[in-house]
Amino acid sequence: MPLFFNPIWRLRQKFMMALFFAIPLGCQFAEPMIRVADENAQYLVSAVPADVGINGELLRQSVSDLPSAAEHGLRSMLVLKDGKLVLEEYWNGYDRNTLQDIRSATKSITSLLVGIAIDRQFLGGVDEPLRKHLALIYSDVAALNRNITLDHLLTMRSGLACNDRDPQSPGQEDRIYRTNDWVRSFLELSSVYPAGDATHYCTAGVIALGRVIAEASKRPIPEFANEYLFLPLNIKDARWSDFDHHRQTDTGGHLFLRPRDMLKIGQLVLQKGMWNDRELVSLQWIAQSTQEHTRIDDGKAYGYLWWHESASHKGKQVTIVAAYGNGGQYIFVIPELGMVVVFTGGNYNSEKAFRPFQMMMKYILPAVNSSLH
């Protein structure tokens, strides 16, 4: 039975719909449509689906079966198989040169930046306490005496009163956004659990990770990301959001990228950190960050800021490592199939944001005819 029609999958579908309703939008941020200049550097090698073991008819059906663009709300859909682009579609006024606010999919890129900072010995490892890098700046904040580590922030287990899915939580992201220094506001939250004891989705903790990277490397996040990640991938138009009168960078959300840039991020993970015969992120970090470390409060498997899923493909289980962002921003990495799939959309806080999952299970995964990698 295809997984899309499996009753167990239906239950998971309901969970994912609940996930999107639970994660708030962050209403302070308007969303401009930003187009950047077309560059040959953004070129990706294209292929006929059949040449990489994909049923092109079923892949095309995934697009033709969609309702009107206004109804489905998608902005882009790209499929990369064996490093070759086999499908690229845009809707609702967006095209390949339009930057997309990828919302919380930003967190997974922050995970890569943490790994790079560890690889390059700016950071000593995930067991380092926050106080090592933030104590001089926030010497008056009690949270730095609670042995909260980088691992706790990477897995949403700080123990502080921060739960984005609870509107009453003092650290819920919309509340944090209304303050000036979001990192201080996070660190000033009361302790609800010992660090490591409970997992609650918390954007503010990921923003604090960004401050740790900036302090440890003595570089602003945009500069750090450009030098060690984006420019080696030939990503030249990434735009970060900021706060604290432009002094700090939002590493928890609202990074703007082209969908093709999102593909490159996924392909880098698929290639275990290698790009053009150069190691950008260590194999050890890719393996460590994409494996399951915890379960977010309602049971979803989570690594170091990467979601961890599995699906049935022709009778075998395959792993899906994913970055998710509100509204329908996804980077799906399927290592066993050598595949990366990207979606962007404008379906904020809507069950329509789940449509890419349906398309993955009904069309895209079944379209892959080749054997597992």
Tens digit of each residue's pLDDT (9 = 90 or more) over 91-129: 999 999 999 999 999 999 999 999 999 999 999 999 999
Higher confidence at residue 304 or residue 309? 304
- Cα–Cα nearest to 229, from 135, 127, 112: 112
Is 332 among the domain residues?
Answer: yes
Phi, psi of 324 (to 5 degrees): -120, 145
Q: What's the mean pLDDT in 76-95?
A: 97
Is 372 among the domain residues?
Answer: no
Is 369 among the domain residues?
Answer: no
Is 141 among the domain residues?
Answer: yes
User: What is d(CA 195, CA 156) in angstroms, rounded to the nearest whole number?
Assistant: 10
Is 214 among the domain residues?
Answer: yes
Of how many residues is the chain composed? Answer: 373
Label residue 325 exposed, middle or buried (CB < 10 Å: 0-12, 13-18, 19+).
buried
**Structural contact between residues 130 and 146, judged by C-beta atoms closer than 8 angstroms:** no
Q: Is the pLDDT of residue 21 over 90?
A: no
Count: domains in the chain: 1
Q: What is the pTM of this model?
A: 0.93
Axis crossing angle, helix 106-119 with helix 203-217, rounded to the nearest 10? 30
- pLDDT band (50, 70, 90) for residue 8: very low
pLDDT at 291: 97
pLDDT digits (tens, 9 = 90+) for 122-139: 999 999 999 999 999 999
Instruction: Say which range, 32-41, 248-257, 355-364, has the weakest mean pLDDT.
Output: 32-41
Q: Which domain holds residue 142?
A: 3-364
User: Which of 6-20, 34-48, 158-172, 302-316 has maximum average pLDDT?
Assistant: 158-172
Question: Residue 316 maps to which CATH number?
Answer: 3.40.710.10
pLDDT at 30: 56
Which residues share a beta bridge with 343?
A: 77, 330
Q: Is the pLDDT of residue 24 over 70?
A: no
pLDDT at 38: 80
pLDDT at 358: 94
Phi, psi of 303 (to 5 degrees): -100, -135
